[in-house]
Amino acid sequence: MVAAFLVGMVGILSSDDVSEHMAQTTPFGVTLMVISQCFYGGLVVVEEKLFSDYELDPLQMVGLEGLWGCLFFAIFLPFA
């Protein structure tokens, strides 16, 4: 959270030195970054809730998470 805050602040504070287009898109980028952090936080909470009922080896859990992530992006990324 601190890193996201620092990146956003640098983007906002350095808008004096960059072009007008870049200064207009900086708040949009910061907003997208904050929204993505909220989605990631929700993902972690849901993941913990779902996996708390199962007795899995941590390495196997990470492998399954990576497998589902690859399948998800292989299907939905071409549409994006």
What pLDDT score does 67 carry? 92
- Write the DSSP symbol of residue 15: G
Confidence of residue 22 (pLDDT cuts 50, 70, 90): low
24-56: buried (b, 16+ CB within 10 Å) or exposed (e) per residue? eebeeebeeeeeeeeeeeeeeeeeeeeeeeeee
Model confidence, pTM: 0.51
CA-to-CA separations, 10 to 28, 54, 69, in angstroms, rounded: 14, 43, 31
Total domains present in the chain: 1
Containing domain of residue 50, as a range? 2-76
- pLDDT(47) > 70: yes
Contact 15, 22 (CB under 8 A): yes
| Whole-number pLDDT of residue 75 | 92
